[in-house]
Every structure is written in C-alpha cells, then in structure tokens.
Amino acid sequence: MKQIDGQYIGLFEVAHVAGEHALMVFAVSLILAMVVVLSVWQLVQRYGFPRENGGLSPKVLLIVHLTVSFAIIVGAAALFAAIADEIGAGETLGRLDQAFADGIASAVPIGVIRAFALVTHLGDTWVLAVWCVLGAAILTVRRRYALAIGFTLAIVGNGLLNSIIKHIFERVRPVHDQSIATAAGWSFPSGHSSGSLVTYGIIAYVLVRVLPDGWRLPTIIVATFIAVTTASSRVFLRVHFASDVLAGFALGTFWLVACILSIELTRRYWPRPRPRSGPSSPQRQS
C-alpha cells in the first residue's frame, strides 16, 4: 500500500488543489457542457429532421437516430459502470473524492457555499415533482396524451431508478456542514444530478417541440445551466462526492436519451389510427 500511495500521491495533491479552485473547475465544466450540448443541437438541426428538398431519407434517418442514441446510451452506461467499480473502500477514486472535498472545505469562501445552498433546491424532490405534475397537466389539457405519459415516465422513472441504485451501493455521504445543508440517505449516485438533468432536459425537449425557432436555443442553454449548476452545488455543499455527481449525470443521460428516443419513435413511426369516415351525404340530383 505504501508503494501505491507513493505512486498516486501526486494525484491526491492535484485533487486537493482542484478542490481549492473548485469555482474554476465549475466554470470550466459548465463551458464544456455548453459546448457539448450546443454541438449536439447543431447536429440535430442539420441531420435530425426530415427535409422536403434533399436530406436523408426517412429510413436512413431512423438508422441514424437509433445508432446515435444507442451510442450515447452505451457510453453513459459504460461511464457509470466504470465509476461504480472504483468507489469501494480504499479505491483510488474514493480517496481522490475525499481530497477534492477537503480542498473545497479549506479554501472555498462560505459565501459561495451559501449561494450554492440556495441553487441546490432546484433539484429537490418536491420541486421536480411539481414540475412533473405541472408539465403533465399542461400537456394533458392540450391533448398531448402520449407526450404527457412520456414526460411523466421520464421524471418518475429516473427517481425510482436512482433510489434502487442507491440501495444497491449504499455509499455513505461525505462529512459536511449540516448547518448549511443536510441530506439523508445514501450518496451514490447523486439524485439531484440525475433528477435535474432528466427533469430540465425533458422540459427543454418539450419546449423545443412547441416553441418558435427563436426560443429553442435559449431554452437549451437555460436547461443546461440549471442542470450543471444544480449538480455542482452538491459537491460544493459536500453532501456528495464528485464521483457521485458524475455518475448521476451519466445515469441521467442514459435515462433521458432512452426516454426521448422512445417518445420520438412513438411519435414518428408508430401507426396512427385513421379517423372514421362519417355517413356519406346524399348526392344532389342534377
């Protein structure tokens, strides 16, 4: 073990320094997330929709949708599995998590911590439940029944999935200042991270489908900002380790893409019943 410690002592020091500069790490992470999401949005606009003049045929478009979606799902699942395999007692990742958390505790100003304590409520269970009920009600009133069902299953299903996985791993939360934030239950994966990603992601998906073109990009930017900031707040408050949050994002990405893919396949390729023809009107006699 001493030899292993000697080999990895540099990594632990880097993790501690990164924790001391956690605001910079957060800013870089937010920028990277924005770049990735906006790049995906550009690809979706260019190749994701059927075009009247030219473009990919519907069959090729279906293959592209399935291939890209499954690639994202498999990648997210692989990332989650890789993190889950390294969080046991004595594992290097767990010790890096602790070094990063110690760096935050030693250097990040208390005012920043209190600000993130306010932001973190955007991922509280009751807030996400309100969004779920409100969104489903609006879609139902607008007679978008299939979309309302998909919207509800995305949010509720993620909550159930996260809860089940928490009880499988039973990772204890890091020690934190309970006068600023309290959190009960197990730590891995972060429910605020997966919940905010799925909830605000599915809200953005619905809004992109119904809003004019000029509102779509701002909607995606706002949803990304809320999801990343809410997830990051859990690390600043030290109610979760950094790997809990990253795993929560991986889990949320897996579930969100699977739900959107299911909704899109149902909407575009499921055969719709034809309206019944009414009684034929009597022909006029000339």
Q: 């859990």: which residue's tokens?
A: 234
240 catalytically annotated: yes
Q: Point out the catalytic residue in the list 16, 65, 176, 192.
A: 192
192 catalytically annotated: yes
Instruction: Enter the DSSP assignment of 168.
Output: H
CA dihedral 35, 118, 172, 87 (to 10 degrees): 10
Give the separation between CA 48 and CA 35, rounded to whole angstroms.
18
Cis peptide before 273 (omega within 30 of 0): no
Instruction: List, as own/partner pairs, every contact residues 163-170 make where C-beta atoms lie below 8 angstroms and the sequence separation is at least 24, other chains included.
Output: 163/191, 165/189, 165/251, 166/191, 169/84, 169/87
For 28, residues 6+ apart whose C-beta sits below 8 A from its C-beta are none
Instruction: Enter the DSSP assignment of 54.
Output: S
Give the separation between CA 47 and CA 57, rounded to whole angstroms.
11
Q: Point out the catalytic residue in the list 16, 65, 176, 240.
A: 240
Which run of H or E residues covers position 91? none
User: In sequence order, what DSSP letters do the residues of 105-163 get, joined into one string?
Assistant: HHHS-HHHHHHHHHHGGGG-HHHHHHHHHHHHHHHHHTT-HHHHHHHHHHHHHHHHHHH
Catalytic residue positions? 192, 240
